[in-house]
Structure formats: C-alpha cells, structure tokens
Amino acid sequence: MKSCVLIYNPKSGKQTIISKLSKIRKRLKAEGYVCTIRKTRYPQHAIKIAKEISRKDIDLLVIAGGDGTFNECLNGLMAHNQIPPIGYLPVGTSCDIAHTLGISTNVDKALDLIFSGKKVFMDIVKSNHGYFTYISAIGSYVNISYQTPKRLKKLLGYPAYLIAGIKAFFTVPKMKLNIKTPNYSKSGKFTLVLVTNSQKVARLTMINRPILDDGKIDLITFTYVPLLNNFMYAFKFLFNPKKMMGLRKIQTDRGEISMQQPYQWSQDGEPHGQGSLTFEVIPKKLPIIINPKRTKYFTNQD
C-alpha cells in the first residue's frame, strides 16, 4: 500500500469539507493508499503539520482548503526542502491556484483529477516574508480576502468579497516605493503592486497565458493617478490590455520593493509581513497534479 496524508481546513470557504471526508478516505483506499487525515485547528497550523510531513517519505499529499491553506502547507514543506506530489481539493472562497491549474472546485471532480491528471513541477517564489505560489501584493483591494468576515464567506462564498470591495473603492492608497529588478528600476507613488505568477487573482484575469515553469514572475505596478485609479483597475481587469496609462508589467526572476512605511503584504490571499519585500523565483520546485488541459502553461518540463 502507498502512503498518503490529507491536510484539511474545516473553516475554508463554506465549510463543507467535513461532510466529504468519508468519501475522500474511501476513494484514496480504493486507489491503494493508506491515508492519515490531519485537521487544522488554528491559523498557521498547516505549517506545523506540513513540517512534520516533510520529514517523512510519503507518496501523496492531499490538501483540502483554500489558497491560504495551500500556502501554509507550502511554507511548512519548504522547512525541510522535501515536497511529495500534491493533489489539491480546492474548497476555499476564491481558489485562484485551482482556477489557473484547471482544478474543479467540485470535490468529487477534483478527487478524480488526482488520479487522472498530470504531475508537473511548478515554480514557487521565496521572499523575506515566506514562500508563495501565485501572488504577493500590496495596495488597493489586496486585504479583502482575509478581512472579509468568515461568517459572510460561509454564507455567500465569492460574492462576499465583492461586498467587501465596495468599501475599498473609496480608500485608494498612495504608497511611496522603490522598485528594483536586474533590468528595471523605478521610484514613485503607487496604488497597487502585484508580484504574480497566475492567470487569475480573485477570479480576475492577470495574465492571459502564464508560463509557470520558466523561472520568471510578472511584476505589475499601478502608479498613483488622482481620481482615476479605480477606473484603471477596472479597465485592466476587464480587458487586460498590453499597455495602459499608469500600468507597467515586466518579467523578472528576482527583485526588491523597498519603502519607508510598513505596508501590509498579502501572499496567496493571506497577510504575510510588513515593509520591504525581496523575492526570488525557485524554478520547478513544486510537484503538483493538474488538469492535463493546463499543461500549456508548463513548457519547460523535462
């Protein structure tokens, strides 16, 4: 028999995963796995559980939760630099990683994909605030995912974020930042900065066709333009133009964003540190099972 560990967050999304546990265990057993089930009990508990797992030799890690739970597991696994193949059951509110990788938010379909999908090796990013898979961001709207009340997310799901976004519409920040990469340098006032490697963030299109195994990440910045920034965001996220006033997008493998005021960073949808950010892509580090239709985003597999 093969060994498997399931880490699940009972508080993710509409909190329906508990009712699925018996079916998940039976399916894993039918596929030849002896499964140990671990429940997260408090914030960042998944980090501790994943650290313990990283010391062991297991055949499959199944993560059931949202983007934040996935991020915690990644940070725990990287403590010992050993990552087993990952199957993902996205049961959170937004599930941006799952949307990019073509993984259904229907638990039964996502479970099927673990055994019929394609294992690839995806880039991750190391920063001074921890590891992340798809985004680190500061500025407008980035704190909505973790400031929206859990009871509202349980009741409404994704629309709860839209309600919380109404308040953010009237509070556009003006951040003084210094941004440096090997081939780019810019100082000025910004309202939103995204370091991202994802097709979608909060289900809004960031990159039409991301390449997730090229050792690069996109740095997207919006400069401060009085009274116009919300219209700029709307135009960018609805039409995703290549060029636009106040918008700059570059690709890089590393960079630094420094500041005097300690702004809060959001990484993979959760708060991760304040102040300056340094980041570097670690190519093809994460073994994960994806929808075969999304192998078009992986062009550098061995």
The residues pairing with 35 across neighbouring beta strands, listed in sequence order, are 4
Q: pTM of the full predicted structure?
A: 0.89
What the block records as the tokens of 188 is 């000025």
Write out the E strands in 134-216.
135-139, 175-181, 184-196, 200-201, 204-205
What are the sequence ranges of the domains in the chain? 2-122+284-293, 130-282
In tens, the pLDDT along 122-161 reads: 999 999 999 999 999 998 776 655 454 556 555 656 565 5
Report phi then psi at 55, rounded to 5: -85, -10
Helix axes 107-116, 21-30, angle to 10 degrees: 20
Quickly tell me which residue has 């135009």 as its tokens. Answer: 235
SS (H, E, C) 84-101: CCEEEEECCCCCHHHHHH
How far is 25 from 23, CA to CA, in rounded Å? 6
Chain centre to alpha carbon of residue 26:
29
Tokens of 18: 């508990």
pLDDT tens readout for residues 2-56: 999 999 999 988 888 999 999 999 999 999 999 999 999 999 999 999 999 888 8
Phi then psi dihedrals of residue 25, to 5 deg: -60, -45
Does CATH number 3.40.50.10330 belong to domain 2-122+284-293?
A: yes
Contact between residue 125 and residue 267 where contact means Cβ atoms under 8 Å apart: no
What does the pLDDT read at residue 1? 84
Q: Which amino acid, one-letter code, is at 212?
A: L
- Say if domain 130-282 classifies as CATH 2.60.200.40: yes
